[in-house]
Structure 1
Amino acid sequence: MTRFPEGFLWGAATAAHQVEGGNVGNHYWEWEHDPHGPFAEPSGDTCDHYHRWAEDLDLLAAAGLTAYRFSLEWSRIEPEEGEISRAALDHYRRMVAGCRDRGLAPVVTLAHFTMPRWMARDGGWTGPKAGDRFARFTETVLPVVADAGYVCTVNEPNLMACMPVLAATAARGERVGGLPRPDQETAEALLELHRRARTVLRDGGAPPSGLTLVGQEFLAEDGAVEEMAAHRAAMEDQFLAAAADDDFVGLQVYSCARIGPDGPVAPPDDLRTLADMEYRPGALGAAVRRAAEVLPGTPLLITENGIATADDAQRVAYTEGALRSLHAAMADGADVRGYLHWSLLDNFEWFAGYRPTFGLVAVDRSTFRRTPKPSLAWLGRVARANALGAEA
């Protein structure tokens, strides 16, 4: 058997806007109802996780998993600037307590892509007030995250900084060839928000905090080694450098980035998943090795890893391959503290709508009935054994 370290966390992840439903107060709700926008469909009620979270945590715990990552919806907590919803704060406090009651370590994300509409109208993430606003929001939720296991500040700032180009591509209906280089102004603004939040969390005695990043296995195509290195520096290295003082770094790894002389190269059609990513389980280990090399003293947490597929047997095969590559990287010295699968539920996948299914649990969007897939039981057996090889 391939054993993992004692105390290694095994879990699954979600994000508020993708599962809660009815998040009418954030800028994504407004954006996805724009008739000229890039979204395949609006989010609507999505999985109604806001009301059914206890049922979902029961499924997670019963399977044998030990951690749950979820995000706070800022627009519920602060629907208008300066107006704090005590009911929303209580809701998320109950979720943290519900995790603990079930033996699940709560991994709480402060900002997972969405912001309140009032903030979007007044400069958004790059506005002059953004740092103060995010610091104030972080201070507001200190009582919520006080009993968390880990706190993630900003989710995937390296992907968020790519959003202008990605949105334009999606709106034209073009197939994605890969992630473009991030907009530098947006990247720097998001990293400043992360630093501001990190300071508030530390001053407030919060649990370990860090940002989460898209991690990829970077591959040079047609001899484009220098282009690949430049792309990796913009997309990854500057963000890892900014995280050097974090308590941990969350890595969110799905696939590789093939970079040719003219930039990102689209994956081959026969390896393309429902999320237009290349099927490459070993990318997880490669991304972890790279991060451990750049930040040798910083613990890592796999805050997302998964595959968009309608074939659950393929999900199991992908996850097993990814975990074996992760274990090999850990055996070579990478300090990884846990693995959180994306996603617990089949959910709203942003521009792509509901077509890409990442979940360990299927959700009937008419009745909200949950149907656990065999992959959930499989991952639960891995978690109980804390090893690969005994879960068959």
Structure 2
Amino acid sequence: MHYGRWVLGLLTAVLFTGCITPPTPPRIKRNNLGAKPETGPFWWGISSSAFQTEDRGEKPGSPNYFKTDWDLFAEAGRVPPKGDDATFSWSQFDKDLEALKKIGVNHYRFGVEWARIEPHPGQYNEAALRRYVDFARRLKAAGIEPVVTLWHFTFPDWMVVKGKPGRSRWLSPYYRERWPLFVDKVTRAMSPYVRTYVPQNEPNGDLALGYISSVWPPGMFLDFNMHARALTQSTWGFREAAKIIKQNRKDALVMAVVALPYWIRTFWDPTSAYYNFMQRINFAHLDRTYDVCDLIGFNYYYTEYADFTALLALKARRGRNYSLLGWVIQPHSLYKQINIVAKRYGKPIVITENGIATSRDIKRVRYLFNHMLEVKEAMADGADVRGYFVWTLVDNYEWHHGYKAPFGMSRMDPVTKRRLLRPSALFYKGIISTSEESSLLDEVSSQPELPQGFIER
């Protein structure tokens, strides 16, 4: 990550100006929120994404060969390449399903790759769409409810104009034309098996990293004007998708998924400008879309200090209170964030991603256990939390970190492609399988029960 540029830019833009105010909560009329949806027993889940796990499955020259904006960004040397294989979740979905059944989750969130389904504008790969539908059908048959993400950071390469970020991705002329048609096509096909959809995964994170910090596509640095334009397009796309989803299945559930790290004010941000800026990043998208959502999902991984010194220290952080990426582990912040979201939006909540990059699985077990305790505590205090999803099933491509951030509760055998479950997966299985009243997380007790023969690795 380009921390030097990020630090200098934010110092100039926000640190001493004092002109950035905190995001104003939306004016919610509690009596107009409507009935809360019935979602059944507590959702114990795992989340994944298409780009991070799927092999391409098409050869160059094939009419269905496709690339994404992330492929182009990697070819330009801006991020590590994913390659054509990843964890083979396209051709070897049965390996994922086998592992999910062993763990015992009742929900699985996976994504569909827009570029795979529509490799060229208006040209659909019907076989690919049928395969995604079959994934959902097989999950359903196994007693696992599919939750489908329609967009998870990647756009088809035909939505990128080289050298013109103002006409690419969210800002592509194709976006308003093709996005509603894509959503309609996918949700019509999925409707027999899928009730819950996520229109966009972490759009707030994508917008910040792509238009402010330059780390992600399209690689813009502190372009606040383009960020604002892309935010407008993104929120339009979310609301349009929500409308189409409801048209294609009357009992469908629309779930937001945003990134919500917990930010802490510090001495080095005397005007709170930095803190307020990061809170705007957290909530600006959701404030504009919550009203078309049945569920508010958010991804929580870490707590961070709202000042430039934290960014400078990130790579140097080591020890039990940090992940491999230098992210601060502070489980109680999840409790705080749940209550902030509950108060701000008044809707049921799902923790849609929670996990840690670590090479020591005992650390993963402790991380998951301690965060589950905070979910349990929030529920005991009245928060309406409907589910908890771990990120993720298997070590995969982690965006600008490449393959150097192991988040998986399993690793892939390079020969058989089987998912070799780690003790953390067995721990999670134990939590799920022994929970008689899972909606109350009764089995998340005072100490994690490690699998027999557990070896710290």
Whether these two folds match at TM > 0.5 is: yes
Distance 1:170 1:137 in 2: 24
Partner of 2:75: 33
CA contact (8 A) 1:152 1:210 kept: yes
Partner SS for 2:91: helix
Please state if 1:364 is matched with 2:413: yes
Mapping 1:31-110, distance limit 5 Å:
31-34=73-76, 36-37=77-78, 39-110=79-150
Match of 2:365 among 316, 331, 337: 316
Distance 1:42 1:167 in 2: 21
Distance 1:318 1:40, change over 3 A: same
Match of 1:251 among 298, 304, 312: 298
Sequence identity of aligned pairs in percent?
26
Please state if 1:22 is matched with 2:56: yes
Distance 2:298 2:73 in 1: 27
| Aligned Cα root-mean-square deviation (Å) | 2.6
Distance 1:83 1:283 in 2: 46
Partner of 1:154: 200
Match of 1:184 among 223, 228, 232: 228
Partner of 1:137: 182
Q: Offset at 1:320?
A: 0.6
Q: Offset at 1:215?
A: 1.1
Distance 1:56 1:262, change over 3 A: closer
Distance 1:114 1:274, change over 3 A: same
**Code of the aligned partner of 2:100:** L
CA contact (8 A) 1:181 1:234 kept: no
Distance 1:265 1:235 in 2: 20
Partner of 1:177: none
Partner SS for 1:103: coil
CA contact (8 A) 1:126 1:189 kept: yes
Distance 1:391 1:257 in 2: 26
CA contact (8 A) 1:110 1:152 kept: yes
**Code of the aligned partner of 2:44:** W
Q: Offset at 1:6?
A: 7.1
**Code of the aligned partner of 2:255:** G
Partner SS for 1:341: strand
Partner SS for 1:17: helix
Match of 2:335 among 275, 278, 285: 285
Distance 1:361 1:103, change over 3 A: same
Distance 1:53 1:239, change over 3 A: same
Partner SS for 2:70: helix
Q: Offset at 1:331?
A: 1.7
Superposed CA offset, 1:77-123 (max 9, x none): 11111111110111011011111111111110000011111122363
**Code of the aligned partner of 2:254:** S
Match of 2:239 among 195, 211, 220: 195
Match of 2:394 among 329, 337, 345: 345
**Code of the aligned partner of 2:82:** P
Partner of 1:276: 326
CA contact (8 A) 2:95 2:417 kept: no
Partner of 1:11: 45
Distance 1:253 1:224, change over 3 A: farther
TM-score normalised by structure 1 residue count: 0.89
Please state if 1:123 is matched with 2:168: yes
Distance 2:84 2:102 in 1: 29
CA contact (8 A) 2:45 2:390 kept: yes
Partner of 1:174: none
Distance 1:202 1:217, change over 3 A: same
**Code of the aligned partner of 2:184:** E
Distance 2:129 2:144 in 1: 20
Q: Offset at 1:265?
A: 6.8
Partner SS for 2:340: helix
Partner of 2:444: 388
**Code of the aligned partner of 2:334:** L
Larger radius of gyration: 2
Aligned positions, number = 377
CA contact (8 A) 2:376 2:444 kept: no
Q: Offset at 1:55?
A: 2.1
Please state if 1:205 is matched with 2:249: yes
Q: Offset at 1:181?
A: 12
TM-score normalised by structure 2 residue count: 0.77
CA contact (8 A) 1:142 1:204 kept: yes
Distance 1:145 1:324 in 2: 35
**Code of the aligned partner of 2:317:** D
Distance 1:26 1:80 in 2: 11
Superposed CA offset, 1:116-158 (max 9, x none): 1112236321224412321111001123331224100011011
CA contact (8 A) 2:111 2:151 kept: yes
Partner SS for 1:254: coil
**Code of the aligned partner of 1:215:** L
Q: Offset at 1:33?
A: 2.2
Partner of 2:422: 373
**Code of the aligned partner of 1:127:** S
**Code of the aligned partner of 1:126:** L
CA contact (8 A) 1:162 1:181 kept: no
